[in-house]
Structure 1
Amino acid sequence: MEGRLKGKRALITGASAGIGRAIAEAFVAQGADVFITARTDEAGARAVIEIAERLEQRASFMLMDAESCSVNALFEKAHADIGPIDILVNNPAFITRTPFLELSGDEYERTLAVNLRFPFFATQRFAKDCIARKQGGSIINISSVSAFKAVSRMSAYQASKAALSMLTRSCALELAPYGIRVNTLSPGLTATNGNANQWRDAPELWQNRKKEIPMQRAGIPSDMTGAAILLASDESSWMTGADLVIDGGHSCI
């Protein structure tokens, strides 16, 4: 099916590579106009914009660091470039793999600022805009199976993702009367830039991790796009507060 997001406008953070980029490209293919953000990868962001422009859809981007970016400035630029936003994908991520007993305050604070504080206030701004327009909307929080499946050396990341998953449920409850849906997408082990030190540089470790997955393979970013399109589209109009886990069955163990 094509055109499932035709006429929609999506803001997707962290979308120059990995899962965010795959979602942005999938949304464009389904007819959405997109505004994306990247921290430093301007080339990756421009590649997404070029795809949209070839399809004669509006697209723009902004370089920003989720730790320090003004949410209001982000939304104002998005509105100016593509119009009022119908879909928000909260996908900024910061991962630290420091042992718990060695984790510094700076690492902890940055992890929460990027993974939780920014999505919190982006969701708040998006919801206020939707309410002012008297229109509903869809928010997709990109969490992780790490929110509920412990892994060593990732305590700050896992705590932030667990909090983000609960933020989904809290916001889904409060925003439902306004027609604003809030759902979570939780990927499992997926080959992205964030874990390239494993799948690219430590293939034996990566192979061992894949053996723990019932479907016997790690995910790739495009594995997440079908669920993201569903959550963004009107096909999930009675779906809020849900957590779609996409992990090859790993969380069954």
Structure 2
Amino acid sequence: MGRLSGRRAVVTGGANGVGRGIATAFAREGCDVFFTALSDASAARETAAELREHGVRAEYLLLDGADPAAPGRLMDEATRALGLIDVLVNNAATLTRTAYLDITPEQYDQVMTVNLRFPFFLTQAFAARLRAAGAPGSVINISSISATKAVSAMAHYQCSKAGLSMLTRGAAYELAPDGIRVNTISPGLTATKANAAQWRDDPGVWHERSKDIPLGRPGRPGDLAGAAVFLASAESAWMTGGDIVVDGGSAAV
């Protein structure tokens, strides 16, 4: 415990699912956390209270990543609340399962804006503040094995995640002289509130997809937490531009 003592993190989409799992793991390790939620104020309050039970500061902001002003506003609010932020987790994402020929320009733009444009410019705002302060930091992008492995009815999502994975490499290269590391976690099929309609309402399809996972089950939000703590900590000090795949073995087959 205490591997992240003294750190201050921003976690987008931190009120539920993978983001909440990461935020909770950070708090357990002594990290102050500022997280965002799209609109679920009740879940955000509950998450903040849970994080504070670990003796850390925890604040949140209801924020739509599709808003062009969101990156600057988030960094301003987080800095005011906690001080200089030195860990950023780009987790917030959106997804509509739509056949390729039926994807509308509006659906495409929404997915690309939230999943790629928002983390692109949020990372920029985060890094600019660290550079001005002469301080190091860590960016963790939550991508997906869908960035490299085709899945039906998710072409726009897959493009956004492939772009996010490439953002990791480009930003890692350019920000390395500033001591700012950028890495990716690529989850496999994971049960979250966002995809509840799949695993709860269509268990047959979920079971069929799960058969391709060598470890025999879909992921849970907490399954990604250890990798995130590692990338946020000094234990990964000589790692940037990398990708940790957490998928139950899906990418191996």
Deviation at 1:56, TM superposition (A): 2.9
- How much is the aligned-residue C-alpha RMSD, in angstroms? 0.9
Deviation at 1:9, TM superposition (A): 0.1
Deviation at 1:151, TM superposition (A): 0.5
Q: Equivalent residue for 1:79? A: 79
Matched, 1:88 2:88: yes
Deviation at 1:70, TM superposition (A): 2.5
Deviation at 1:158, TM superposition (A): 0.2
Preserved contact between residue 70 and residue 118 of structure 2 (Cα < 8 Å): no
Preserved contact between residue 32 and residue 57 of structure 2 (Cα < 8 Å): yes
Q: Equivalent residue for 1:217? A: 217
Q: What secondary structure, in the 3-state scheme, does the structure 1 residue paired with 2:181 have?
A: strand
Matched, 1:148 2:148: yes
Matched, 1:10 2:9: yes
Q: Equivalent residue for 1:20? A: 19
Structure 2: which 5+ runs fail to align? Answer: none
Q: Equivalent residue for 2:32? A: 33
Deviation at 1:54, TM superposition (A): 2.4
What letter corresponds to residue 149 of structure 2 in structure 1?
Answer: K
TM-score, scaled relative to structure 2? 0.98
**Alpha-carbon displacement from aligned partner over 1:159-200 (angstroms, at most 9, x marks no partner):** 000000000000000101110000000000000122211211
Deviation at 1:157, TM superposition (A): 0.3
How do 1:1-253 and structure 2 match up within 5 A?
2-68=1-67, 69-253=69-253
More displaced 10-residue stretch of structure 1: 56-65 or 115-124: 56-65
Deviation at 1:250, TM superposition (A): 0.4
Structure 1: which 5+ runs fail to align? Answer: none
TM-score, scaled relative to structure 1? 0.98
Deviation at 1:207, TM superposition (A): 1.4
Q: 1:214 to 1:55 in 2, by over 3 A?
A: closer
In the alignment, the residues of structure 1 paired with residue 12 and residue 141 of structure 2 have an alpha-carbon distance, to the nearest angstrom, of 10
In the alignment, the residues of structure 2 paired with residue 124 and residue 73 of structure 1 have an alpha-carbon distance, to the nearest angstrom, of 13
What letter corresponds to residue 153 of structure 1 in structure 2?
Answer: A
Q: Count how many residue pairs are aligned between Structure 1 and Structure 2.
A: 252
